Structure 1
Amino acid sequence: MTALLPSRTGARVERLPLARFTTLGVGGEAEVWFVETHAQLAEAMEVPYRILGGGSNLVVADEGVPERVVRLSGPFAERDLSPDPLLSTPEQLVTGWVGGGVPLPGLIRTLQKLGLSNLEGTVGIPAQVGGAVWMNAGTRYGEMFDGLHTLEIVTPQGARQVTPDDLGWGYRQSGIPRGHIVTRVRLKLRPSTPEAVLEKMSAADQARKGQPKMKTPGCAFKNPGGVSAGRLIDEAGLKGTRIGQAMIAPEHANFIVNLGGASAADVHGLLALIRERVGVPLELEYELWPGEAEGHGA
């Protein structure tokens, strides 16, 4: 095994199995960079790289990936939810900076306790903020761009700040190009009450009750033309189908779960089978690694 060179800027660098960072629990090894500063991030981006957040929406190959894998940590995983007095109004609170490495579930719980609305529709999504923004994660009750004011995006050429109006965002996509890392955001939130926010979160959470509780990346395919992908897969008679230790979930056919010891090859086999048996083209929601580098795994 090739020895890892130490970072010039003090980033922690280790060769690790990516399975430990993904919600599916599969994936081989890669060189992982834990970056805490813009200088460390710039160094990590000097060679081909990928950015890995909470590891949802992602299937990593059994052989891992050859590129560096970047994890935002330290200050990039901290949050300042205090109102910015220059940007906030009585009708809209704009926060300080929230790091791209902040876990989304904990953030949503905190916003509920503070009685701050706009992001409760993303409850239950096991992502970090940067990855959730990059793919505009959400449910039918809301999505990340409902609560974004400003984004800081970093490329090998440096950092810049943009607003949602600068991006061509839409359903499950932000318009942020590959090779751009969401390092932090300011949130725009509507003052409400903890009780009212909790009621909206409960409605969104109730809609997820039928989803599997086992290891899964999340929904496999986008809904084609407003039709439920899960319903199409169910109508093809594929619920409960297994390849190896991967299974199309009996609870919801648009989820693939790891029964324990599944491989990425098992998952790819099920994805191919679904596409073969369903009569309409289906677009993946998953990121597949390898594939194009420089993408987010939420």
Structure 2
Amino acid sequence: MTLTEKLSELQVGAVSPGEPLKDHCTWRIGGPADALAEPSSKEEIARLLAFVREEEIPLLVIGRGSNLLFSDKGFRGVVLKLGRRFSALSVKGTRVRAQSGVWVPGLARIVAGAGLSGFEHAAGIPGALGGLIVMNGGSLRRSAGENVRYVDALSRGGEFKRFAPDECGFSYRRSVFQDGGARAGWIILGAELGFEPSDRRTVRKACLDALAERRGKFPLRLPNCGSVFTNDPKVYELAGPPGKIVEDAGLKGATVGGAMVSPLHANFIVNLGGASAADALGLISLVRRRVFDRLGVWLDTEVRYASEDGTVIPASEACPR
């Protein structure tokens, strides 16, 4: 019996064999996974975890893939995708409970429609709620962790835990949920978020303003992963935000293979068509080296690299210096 047949028999959700990972990330880069499963319930997730643990099969957990660079070789194991099939949510007063696969821009619209404020910064961030929490993502100097009241997660061993905000280890683009890759760590099932009551029209306008700003500043027509480099406070004090630093280094429009530093915003690397992970990593490496030669600092990356064996690390750590 094949791996796909075993997974289908276990009833762990929709199962796809040899699935191209480029179809599951916003950069449109990545080779095939041995199998990809999309569960729709906690029970299906638990069955999948028990199976891969017993069979000693590597497991890689993803959301909507908006902050991931997959290996050109894909992934030798099972990819667990928490996306549309795992995206229930409910609003009660000023609190919102949402599963990890909820689409962040859609969540921002629902929050605004309920007359709640505090999530406007996320209106244009492409990705799933689980990924937003993992990265403590945000914009306009805000972060997702500010809204978290608790996070529900499942360990690779099947243990359920509810994390209070102070247990999540939130800091700039960091959380405790980033560690582990295919071998350890916690899988976010969902979260409860808290907001402040406000005027619907005011909140909706703020969301529309955030979206308009993104459309004017960012290269949204070509596949990309969002901001590539982190906005480190010490580096910012030295030379400004990463987009400016890369632009000042004369790298707008720089290319490696099919990957290009966007001429519109230098903290974005776009896929011109057919870019490989090697192209993207090569361009990240070129940018980091050029900036180091000018300023004596290494830029770190927000985007994370998932290797063939499922190790997930910042893309900057996968680049040769």
TM-score normalized with structure 1 length: 0.89
- How far off its partner does 1:295 sit? 5.5
- How far off its partner does 1:169 sit? 0.6
Report the equivalent of 1:186. 192
Report the equivalent of 1:86. none
1:94 aligns with 2:95: yes
- How far off its partner does 1:104 sit? 0.8
Summarize the Cα distance change of 1:172–1:278 in structure 2 as closer, same or farther, 3 Å threshold.
same
Report the equivalent of 1:124. 124
Q: Secondary structure at the match of 2:145?
A: helix
Summarize the Cα distance change of 1:266–1:296 in structure 2 as closer, same or farther, 3 Å threshold.
closer
Give me the whole-angstrom Cα distance separating, in 2, the residues matched to 1:169 and 1:140. 17
Report the equivalent of 1:221. 229
Give me the whole-angstrom Cα distance separating, in 2, the residues matched to 1:189 and 1:292. 39
1:210 aligns with 2:217: yes
Q: Secondary structure at the match of 1:232?
A: helix
Between 65-74 and 25-34, the greater mean CA deviation after superposition: 65-74
1:6 aligns with 2:9: no
Summarize the Cα distance change of 1:295–1:188 in structure 2 as closer, same or farther, 3 Å threshold.
farther
Report the equivalent of 2:69. 59
1:33 aligns with 2:31: no
Q: Which runs of 5+ in 1 are unaligned?
A: 84-92
Summarize the Cα distance change of 1:74–1:268 in structure 2 as closer, same or farther, 3 Å threshold.
closer
- How far off its partner does 1:200 sit? 2.6
Give me the whole-angstrom Cα distance separating, in 2, the residues matched to 1:75 and 1:55. 15
Give me the whole-angstrom Cα distance separating, in 2, the residues matched to 1:60 and 1:175. 21
- How far off its partner does 1:112 sit? 1.3
Q: CA RMSD in A?
A: 2.1
Structure having the higher helix fraction is: 2
Report the equivalent of 1:274. 287
Higher relative contact order (CA 8 A, sep 6+): 1
Q: Secondary structure at the match of 1:251?
A: coil
Look up the equivalent residue of 1:36 and give its one-letter code: S
- How far off its partner does 1:100 sit? 0.3
- How far off its partner does 1:14 sit? 1.3
Give me the whole-angstrom Cα distance separating, in 2, the residues matched to 1:271 and 1:249. 12
Question: What does 1:147-186 align with in structure 2 at a 5 Å threshold?
Answer: 147-157=147-157, 158-176=159-177, 177-178=179-180, 179-186=185-192
1:24 aligns with 2:22: no
8 Å Cα contact 2:153/2:186 also seen in 1? yes
Report the equivalent of 1:251. 264
- How far off its partner does 1:191 sit? 1.0
8 Å Cα contact 1:149/1:164 also seen in 2? yes
8 Å Cα contact 1:233/1:278 also seen in 2? yes
Q: Secondary structure at the match of 2:4?
A: coil
Look up the equivalent residue of 1:98 and give its one-letter code: A
8 Å Cα contact 2:149/2:194 also seen in 1? yes
Give me the whole-angstrom Cα distance separating, in 2, the residues matched to 1:266 and 1:66. 21
Between 172-181 and 158-167, the greater mean CA deviation after superposition: 172-181
8 Å Cα contact 1:14/1:33 also seen in 2? yes
1:34-83 C-alpha deviation (Å, 9 max, x unpaired) = 11222321233323211111111111111101131101257731111233
1:101-139 C-alpha deviation (Å, 9 max, x unpaired) = 111111111111221111111121111011111111101
Give me the whole-angstrom Cα distance separating, in 1, the residues matched to 2:291 and 2:304. 20
1:7-52 C-alpha deviation (Å, 9 max, x unpaired) = 2530222121011111011111111111122232123332321111
Q: Secondary structure at the match of 1:5?
A: helix
1:68 aligns with 2:78: yes
8 Å Cα contact 1:44/1:68 also seen in 2? no
Give me the whole-angstrom Cα distance separating, in 1, the residues matched to 2:167 and 2:309. 24
1:241 aligns with 2:242: no
Q: Secondary structure at the match of 1:266?
A: helix
Report the equivalent of 2:319. none
Identity across the alignment (%): 31
Q: Which runs of 5+ in 2 are unaligned?
A: 315-321
Give me the whole-angstrom Cα distance separating, in 2, the residues matched to 1:295 and 1:114. 36
Between 41-50 and 229-238, the greater mean CA deviation after superposition: 41-50
Report the equivalent of 2:46. 42
Summarize the Cα distance change of 1:296–1:201 in structure 2 as closer, same or farther, 3 Å threshold.
farther
Q: Secondary structure at the match of 2:111?
A: helix
Look up the equivalent residue of 1:217 and give its one-letter code: C
